Structures are given as structure tokens and as C-alpha cells.
């Protein structure tokens, strides 16, 4: 049977939770995430295969099915659509003395969770799923589509860049830090404020709305039940920093250095598990935890129990200003770690642009992190809803990006 004949035998349709859950979970279990022969990371969606996209404005999940009498799910794909910043332009509408920089928005689609059963690969099923998902994207007005994959996932990179017409676009870094058995110390010369969602939205829109990939519906993210709060760090002065003045006053007269980030609870959406570890590695990890738990005052770094299902907290909306902003980001990261410890998580993670100035302020373990998370993009349409930046796929990267926690 030729490849073309095998593809024809595949039916691609929308996911039906009443009859497809078991088949989807079976494919998920058989699909490793990670290079062969090494530790593999498995994602447990806790019985909700759409959890990774259901918080987006528009989302869809498709399954690939084979067979006539006895049907078998052999693949699936998820996708969502949102409006994000893809550039900026000068606006002189009000004829002010200074040029006003405004964001240029585009409707962006995201492909994630593409899985094909190992026994049915190299039959064109992945291509068929991507093509069908892109059809839905276009029908709903998406102008671009992008995906994130590992640089060394050659099969995925070849599918999207070689067959589906995507081009390599950005290489952000995923920074992962274990949650220790002890609380980490937060710099006492730093004051941390927690903002309410309305004030957090105002801060982000005033300061970060022209950042690449900034979501127009950031208010939906900040008000989501999985968003645990937005925090701002400023230097503590001898007389104290007083109360939070509100985002407008704060940005009108900011301190010399400051930083902001928000925390998202991935633990209640999905769990992760590292498989394939040797008994020696498990023993070493357990020993570090026992020492840390018995002698917490030593503050020794310990390896959490990642060989069983564990949760994570995700830091997003990371930014700031000033010569000591890196120190402020480190303090906020420590605060997020302590939140994750109280929440029973195994790791805390963040994703930033490769050239992000505050990257060094985010504690992480190299062995758990990903130096280059490859993002690939494809242009689906020609029209822009708010101005024009030409072809976004050919634009140079900026220093920062806004990573949407709903898609992590």
C-alpha cells in the first residue's frame, strides 16, 4: 500500500469526549516527549485532553481515526486562536508633542499536542491533522499559525518546516527550577506587592502591550482561576516603601529599578512525570530530599519527586526596568518558588526570549531547562486588523516576548 492510499484511509474529525477519551489517552501514553534513550517527560492531562487549550478564546481538538468496523484513534491535534501584538507603530491621532507608540495586533493560531501513534507514523497522518487544523484557523480569520517544539525533535521540525510550510521564527528559553523541601530566602532589601487583577491588567497594558505576543485579552488570563496573582518587586528603602500607589501613579514615577511577574497554576490543569530514570538516580534524588527535609536550615538544593506525577507553577509576564531589575526578578522568582512549595508542586518554570535582559535573574537548573525552545511560524492570510507590519514571519526578534500561560 502506498503512502497516499494509507492517508485516504484516515478519517479526521472533531474530538468527542463521550467516545474518544480512552483512545486519546492510549495514544498519549504511547507517545514519548523527549529524545529516545534518555529520560522521557510524560504529560498527564488528568482526563481532560482539551485542558491545554480550553482557556483560550477559541479552541478545537481533532482526532485521526482508522478502521471500518473496529475504529482506532491513531492521532490527535489541538489548536487555539487569539489576538496578539505582532509589532508597533507611531500614532499621531491626537497631535500630541510626542509620538505615541501603539501595538499592531494580529489574529494568531497555535498548534500544540500533535500526537501520532508510534505504530502509524510515516503514513502522512500528522500532515493530514495539521492541514485540517489550519483549515479551521483560516475559517476563523487567523492570519498566522505557530508551533513550539524541541530543536532536537527532528521529525516534528521536518514535518512543519519541510512539509507544512512553516519557518523557524524564535528560540526562547524554558527555565525550570526544582521546588526544594525548604523555603528559599527572598532578599530583605526588596519589597513585593501583590496586585489585584484590574490593576495588574492596567500595568501590563500600559507598559507591555507593545511586547511581541502580548495577548489582547490579557484580562481573561489575569482573571482566570488558574492565575494565582501578579507581583511587583521594588527596592526597600530605610523608611519603608509604603502601600502600593496603583499602576498609573507607579508608572508615572517609578523607582530606579522594579520588576513584575505573574504566576499560573498548571498543577490543576495537568501533571508531569519523568520516566526512564535508573534506580541510582532515584536513590540520589531521594537522599537529597531526606537531607533537605531533616536539615532545612542548611538550605541544600534537593531534587523533588519528579519520578511520580508532579505539578508546576508557571511564571509569565516577566519584565521590569532599571539597573537592579535582575535582582528584583530573582526576588520574585524566590517568592514564586515558595508559593509552589506551599502548593505542593515539584518545579517552577518560566519562558523568556533568548536575549531577555532579566534571564539571569530567574533561578534554574540547566539539566531541567531547555536553552532553545524552537518556535516556527506560517503566514495564513494577507490582511491585518490594525495597521501593517509587513510579513511578521520575516521580522527580527525583540529583546522580550510575552508567553501566554494558557499554552504552556
Query: Which pLDDT does position 278 carry in this prediction?
Result: 83
| H/E run at residue 325 | helix 325-342
What is the distance between the terminal CA atoms of the chain, rounded to a whole angstrom? Answer: 39
168, 376 in Cβ contact below 8 A? Answer: yes
DSSP conformation letters of 219-275: HHHHTSTTEEEEEEEEE--TT---S---HHHHHHS--SSEEEEEEEEGGGT-EEEEE
To the question of pTM greater than 0.75 for the whole model, the response is yes
Spatial distance between the Cα atoms of 326 and 359, rounded to a whole number of angstroms = 8
- C-beta of residue 115 within 8 angstroms of C-beta of residue 395: no
Quick one: pLDDT at residue 29?
A: 83
Phi, psi of 382 (to 5 degrees): -105, -20
At 34 the pLDDT is: 47
Q: What share of the chain is helix, strand, coil (3-state, %, to 5)?
A: 30, 30, 40
Entry field: residues in the chain: 408
What are 349's strand-pairing partners?
Answer: 176, 314
Q: Report the pLDDT value the prediction gives residue 32, as an integer from 0 to 100.
A: 62
pLDDT 10s digits, 371-393: 889 999 999 976 544 445 579 99
**CATH fold match for the domains 3-170+373-396 and 176-361:** yes
User: What pLDDT tens digit does each residue of the chain (408 aa) get?
Assistant: 334 334 448 899 999 999 999 999 889 888 865 444 455 677 888 888 888 888 999 999 999 999 877 889 999 999 999 999 999 887 766 555 455 888 999 999 999 999 999 888 888 999 999 999 999 999 999 999 999 998 888 889 999 999 999 999 999 999 999 999 999 999 999 999 999 999 999 999 999 999 999 999 999 999 999 999 999 999 987 555 578 999 999 999 999 999 999 999 999 999 998 887 888 888 888 899 899 888 888 888 898 888 889 999 999 999 999 999 999 999 999 999 999 999 999 999 999 998 898 899 999 999 889 988 999 999 997 654 444 557 999 999 988 999 999 999
Strands 144-150 and 72-91: unpaired
Q: Where are the domains of the chain?
A: 3-170+373-396, 176-361
* Grid coordinates of 100: 505615541
Q: Which pLDDT value is given to residue 385?
A: 47
Multiple choice CATH, 3-170+373-396, 3.30.930.10, 3.40.440.10, 3.40.630.30, 1.10.3470.10: 3.40.630.30
- For residue 126, the model assigns a pLDDT of 93
- Whether CATH 3.40.630 fits 176-361: yes
Amino acid at each position: 500500500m502506498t503512502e497516499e492510499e494509507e492517508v485516504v484511509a484516515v478519517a479526521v474529525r472533531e474530538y468527542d469526549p463521550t467516545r474518544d477519551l480512552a483512545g486519546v489517552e492510549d495514544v498519549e501514553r504511547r507517545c514519548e516527549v523527549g529524545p529516545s534513550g534518555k529520560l522521557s517527560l510524560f504529560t498527564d492531562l488528568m482526563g481532560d485532553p482539551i485542558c491545554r487549550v480550553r482557556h483560550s478564546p477559541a479552541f478545537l481538538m481533532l482526532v485521526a481515526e482508522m478502521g471500518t468496523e473496529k475504529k482506532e484513534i491513531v492521532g490527535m491535534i489541538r489548536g487555539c486562536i487569539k489576538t496578539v501584538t505582532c509589532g508597533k507603530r507611531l500614532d499621531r491621532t491626537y497631535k500630541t508633542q510626542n509620538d505615541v507608540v501603539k501595538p499592531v495586533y494580529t489574529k494568531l493560531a497555535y498548534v500544540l499536542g500533535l500526537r501520532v501513534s508510534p505504530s502509524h507514523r510515516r503514513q502522512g497522518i500528522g500532515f493530514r491533522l495539521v492541514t485540517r487544523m489550519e483549515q479551521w484557523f483560516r475559517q476563523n480569520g487567523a492570519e498566522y499559525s505557530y508551533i513550539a517544539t524541541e530543536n532536537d525533535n527532528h521529525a516534528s521540525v521536518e514535518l512543519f518546516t519541510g512539509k507544512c510550510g512553516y519557518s523557524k521564527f524564535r528560540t526562547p528559553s524554558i527555565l525550570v527550577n526544582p521546588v526544594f523541601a525548604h523555603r528559599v530566602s527572598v532578599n530583605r532589601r526588596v519589597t513585593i506587592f501583590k496586585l489585584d487583577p484590574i490593576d495588574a491588567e492596567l500595568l501590563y497594558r500600559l507598559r507591555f502591550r507593545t511586547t511581541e505576543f502580548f495577548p489582547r485579552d490579557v484580562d481573561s488570563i489575569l482573571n482566570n482561576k488558574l492565575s494565582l496573582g501578579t507581583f511587583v518587586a521594588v527596592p526597600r528603602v530605610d523608611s519603608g516603601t509604603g502601600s502600593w500607589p496603583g499602576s498609573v501613579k507607579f508608572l508615572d514615577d517609578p523607582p530606579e529599578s522594579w520588576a513584575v511577574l505573574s504566576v499560573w497554576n498548571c498543577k490543576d490543569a495537568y501533571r508531569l512525570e519523568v520516566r526512564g530514570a535508573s534506580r541510582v538516580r532515584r536513590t540520589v534524588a531521594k537522599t537529597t530530599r531526606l537531607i533537605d527535609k531533616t536539615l532545612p536550615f542548611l538550605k541544600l538544593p534537593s531534587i523533588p519527586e519528579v519520578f511520580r506525577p508532579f505539578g508546576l507553577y508557571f511564571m509569565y509576564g516577566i519584565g521590569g526596568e532599571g539597573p537592579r531589575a535582575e535582582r528584583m526578578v530573582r526576588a520574585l522568582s524566590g517568592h514564586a518558588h515558595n508559593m509552589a512549595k506551599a502548593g505542593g508542586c515539584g518545579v517552577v518554570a518560566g519562558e523568556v526570549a533568548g536575549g531577555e535582559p532579566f534571564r539571569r535573574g530567574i533561578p534554574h537548573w540547566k539539566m531541567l531547562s531547555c536553552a532553545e525552545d524552537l518556535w516556527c511560524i506560517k503566514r495564513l492570510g494577507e490582511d491585518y486588523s490594525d495597521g501593517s507590519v509587513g510579513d511578521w514571519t520575516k521580522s527580527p526578534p525583540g529583546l522580550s516576548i510575552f508567553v501566554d500561560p494558557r499554552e504552556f
